Structure formats: structure tokens, C-alpha cells
Amino acid sequence: MGIFKDQMKKILLIRGLSERTINIYLHSMESFVRFFNKPPDKINADEIIQFQHHLNEKKVSYSVFNQYVSAIKFFYKNVLRSNVHIDRIFYTKRPKKLPVILSQEEIIAIYQVIANIKHKTIFITTYACGLRVSEASKLKVEDIDSNRMMIRIRCAKGKKDRYAPLPKKLLQVLRKYWKAMNRKPSIWLFPSNFYENQEKHISIRSIQFIIQKAAVKAGIKKKVSVHTLRHSYATHLMEAGVNLRKIQLILGHTSISTTAKYIHLADNYIRNFNSPIETLKI
């Protein structure tokens, strides 16, 4: 990539994209260029199709495939300023799969097998507020507003702040966690390591490892990720009869259609109706 990488990074920063998105774009472009082993301005449209075919053969997920497409499109449009390749770069269709949902009993089972109080608190906070993993890792001590019973979530997806309700039970857990800490967190609610550096928050990978390990230990057979907690939280709200618009605001969804998918996951929406067969005289 050479000088192109520096130019691309500058433009990404100017556009105000998150650090994670910038890293994904740069990594994707580096892999793309490395595949051909020549400068990106020497790569033609047919070769881009060849690279996309290569990704299909590798059977990468739709999200990884589309990350590459977004990075390549951004590069040719904004860095190289050439539209010659743009119309030859296609996104792949997103499969319409319903996400994995944990029951409340499974949430309790995972919570109970986690011994470390910090890890236990991270897990239940993520579920109780429907947080994305990046949001959970970057919670600050000052974001917990016990007077208003709200949690402030800063610079979430799309660099938008929002508030989520702070449940009373979660506040009790957070206070227990606070009392158990010999060295109180000063900035981040969940620092990377109390005894090394409190200036850094716990990493996304650490949270992912904590929750996946706990799910296995609890004997959960489903494929559990941190985002599974967010899906489960939204579905449990839906089952409890919480208004769809309210769930949208809590989760920070831009479009209500994104929130509406949880209707298809809520047990009471699916089970509580009379099938037409009930009226058949058979």
C-alpha cells in the first residue's frame, strides 16, 4: 500500500469513522493488494472480480466479504479518485438468518458459573442493558447515573450517544462489584488490569473470551457470542410487552425495521394464536 495507506487513513479520520472501522478498512485493503502483489492503481476491474471470486471460494462470511467491498470502494472513490472500478464491485446479499437467543434460564446458568466478580459484572451489565461489546468495554465510572437510574452509552455505533435504563438489580450488582475492588476504578468501569494500567479499558477480545468460555462451562449447546446477549435482551423485552419504539431507542437502532426482527423471535408472538386448523372439523 505504501503512501496510499497513509492517504487512506487520513481520509478515514477526516470522515470521522471509528478506530475499529478504520483498522478494518486498512487491513482489508492491505490483504487485497497483497493478493495481487502490485500497487492498487495497477489493479484493473477484471482483477477485482477475480478477488471477489477468491473470497467466495474461501467461503468467507457475508460480513467479511462486504467489509472488503466497502474498503475497496472507499479506496477507489476517495483515495485514488477513480470511478473506473466502482460499478464492478458488488456487495453480496445478507442471509436472512434469525439470531441465536438465550432463555432467561440460560442467562442465569451462565451468570452462575462465572467466578470472577469483574467478569460476572461485565456479563450481566452487557445483558441487562443490551450493550454491544464495544459499548460494554468502554463504559466509564461516571456513566452510571444512579440518581436518574440510567446508563450513558458514549459514541455507540454511528458515533451516537444514548441512554439505557439502569435496572435496580444491576445497580446492586455494580455496587457489590465496586465494594469488592480493593483498588477502585478511576476512569473505566472495567479497566484492562487493576495492577498494571487503569488508563486502558478491557479489550473487546477479553469480553468475547469471558462470555464464550462461560457459556461452554454452563453447558450451553448454542453458539453464544457477546451479541447473543443483546439479541436475547431485545427479545425478552419484546416478550414482556415493551413497546417496539421504546426498544429501538434503548438499543440505539437507526431504523425501526432493525428492531422489528425481534417480533419473529418472541415466543408469545409466535405461540399465542389460534391456528386455522383449530376450526377444521377433522
Hey, which residues are catalytic here?
Answer: 132, 157, 227, 230, 253, 262
| DSSP codes, the chain | -THHHHHHHHHHHHTT--HHHHHHHHHHHHHHHHHHTS-GGG--HHHHHHHHHHHHHTT--HHHHHHHHHHHHHIIIIIS---TTGGG--PPPPP-PPPP---HHHHHHHHHH--SHHHHHHHHHHHHTT--HHHHHT-BGGGEETTTTEEEE-S-TTS--EEEE--HHHHHHHHHHHHH-SS--SSBSSEEETTTEEEEEPPHHHHHHHHHHHHHHTT--S---HHHHHHHHHHHHHHTT--HHHHHHHHT-SSHHHHHGGGGT-HHHHHSS--GGGGS--
The model's pLDDT over 150-161, given as tens digits with 9 standing for 90+, comes to 999 987 676 778
- The last residue of a domain, from among 59, 88, 117: 88
Domains contained in the chain, number? 2
pTM above 0.75, yes or no: no
Structural domain includes residue 275: no
- The last residue of a domain, from among 30, 55, 88: 88
The answer to whether 207 and 225 have CB atoms below 8 angstroms apart is no
Residue 73 sits in a domain whose CATH number is 1.10.150.130
- Are both 237 and 189 inside the same structural domain? yes
The residue segments making up the domain with residue 111 are 104-270
- Are both 125 and 265 inside the same structural domain? yes
CA 157, 166, 230, 211 torsion-angle sign: positive
CA distance 188 to 175: 15
278: pLDDT strictly greater than 60: no
The model's pLDDT over 184-238, given as tens digits with 9 standing for 90+, comes to 888 899 998 755 556 789 999 999 999 999 999 999 999 999 999 999 998 888 8
Structural domain includes residue 171: yes
Q: Please, which pLDDT band fits residue 253 given cuts at 50, 70 and 90?
A: confident
Structural domain includes residue 97: no
CB neighbours of 275 closer than 8 A, spacing ≥ 6?
A: none
- Are both 117 and 42 inside the same structural domain? no
- Are both 31 and 147 inside the same structural domain? no
- The last residue of a domain, from among 42, 57, 88: 88
Average pLDDT score over the chain: 86
CA distance 255 to 233: 18
Structural domain includes residue 95: no
Q: Measured in Å, how far apart are the chain's first and last C-alpha atoms?
A: 71
